[in-house]
Copies of this chain bind each other. A is one copy, B any other.
Amino acid sequence: MERIGFIGLGIMGRPMALNLTRKGHGLTVWARRRESVAPLTEAGARVAASPREVAREADIVFLIVSDTPDVEQVIFGGDGIAHGAARGTVVVDMSTISPATTRDLAGQLAQRGIEMLDAPVSGGETGAVQGTLSIMVGGKPEVFERVKPFFQCMGKNIVHVGPAGAGQVAKACNQILAAVNIEGVAEALNFAIRAGADPRKVREALLGGFAYSKALEVHGQRMLDGDFKPGFKIRLFQKDLGIVLDSAHQMGLALPAAAMVAQHFNAQMGAGEGDLDGNSLFRVIDRISAAKEL
């Protein structure tokens, strides 16, 4: 029986780890903030003193932390996973970070005989709580198969996309589409309102046709209800598009629509809207335009 470690018990990590315990898996956990571990200890998890200690007690170590430097620190910092993991251990990074850094980390771990999967998720806090996350996985197929039963405790749509980094590439593409699709809905519904049509009727008419997107269905409704509760916060969306645009910069790839939405997110951060949902792009379009009937 595999021994499981879990590092990072924030908004996403805590419910994901709890879903593993609910399926009967004993966990060794660590979080930067001591207060985050309480719900896990109540569920029977043991608390380790450092990521290194987690790695000593586990065959598979999941981690989900904020950003690229946090992942580097948790794996290769002084008390990092790399210093406690035996050969054959699997490190599963479920954070959303740079695809290029992910490949570097996987290469460095491979030199120590440690396996790595990149396995970023989409579906937000709701998906994490309900165990319905989409999980996009990069790494060796046989390692994916070994970890799959644990992924199935946390998510529903679990896809092995390709080798190391491919999960992060898929997540980057997911964020491009999520951002651009929401922008489109924000522009279309503002157009409908300004042009004097009933935006709810317009949304309904378009749901059945080629303009359909999940963004139109879910966020279109919330925009019209004035419901901008996260969901997925602007500050995280901004961070993720930062990764996308840094990667595009490195590759010499122009992403004009994604870059434009990132500018809107920058403006929202400046307006103190970092804790609103991404669907608050609706307010950006509304704010920058005067109200005048067609």
CA distance A248 to B206 in the complex (A): 19
B214 lies within 8 A of A173 (CB):
no
Residue A24 is within 8 A (CB to CB) of chain B in the complex:
no
CA distance A156 to B209 in the complex (A): 10
B211 lies within 8 A of A169 (CB):
no
A contacts with B: majority SS: helix
**Interface segment out of the listed A35-43, A76-84, A105-113, A195-203:** A195-203
Residue A188 is within 8 A (CB to CB) of chain B in the complex:
yes
A255 lies within 8 A of B191 (CB):
yes
Assembly stoichiometry (copies): 2
CA distance A247 to B190 in the complex (A): 12
Contact residue among B156, B189, B216, B257 (Cβ-Cβ distance under 8 Å from A257): B257
Contacts known (A185-B177, A188-B176); A197 close to B213, Cβ less than 8 A: no
Instruction: Tell me the A182-235 residues at the B interface (CB within 8 Å).
Output: 183-185, 187-192, 194-198, 201-202, 204-206, 208-216, 218
How big is chain A's contact interface, by range?
A: 35 or more
Residue A166 is within 8 A (CB to CB) of chain B in the complex:
yes
Residue A136 is within 8 A (CB to CB) of chain B in the complex:
yes
Contacts known (A166-B201, A184-B257); A100 close to B294, Cβ less than 8 A: yes
**Residues of B contacting A260 in the complex (Cβ-Cβ under 8 angstroms):** 256-257, 260
A81 to chain B, nearest CB (A): 24
B202 lies within 8 A of A292 (CB):
no
A188 to chain B, nearest CB (A): 4
Residue A165 is within 8 A (CB to CB) of chain B in the complex:
yes
List residues of chain A with CB under 8 Å of any chain B CB: 99-100, 122-123, 134, 136, 138, 156-157, 159, 161-162, 165-166, 169-170, 172-174, 176-181, 183-185, 187-192, 194-198, 201-202, 204-206, 208-216, 218, 244, 247-248, 250-258, 260-261, 264, 285, 288-294
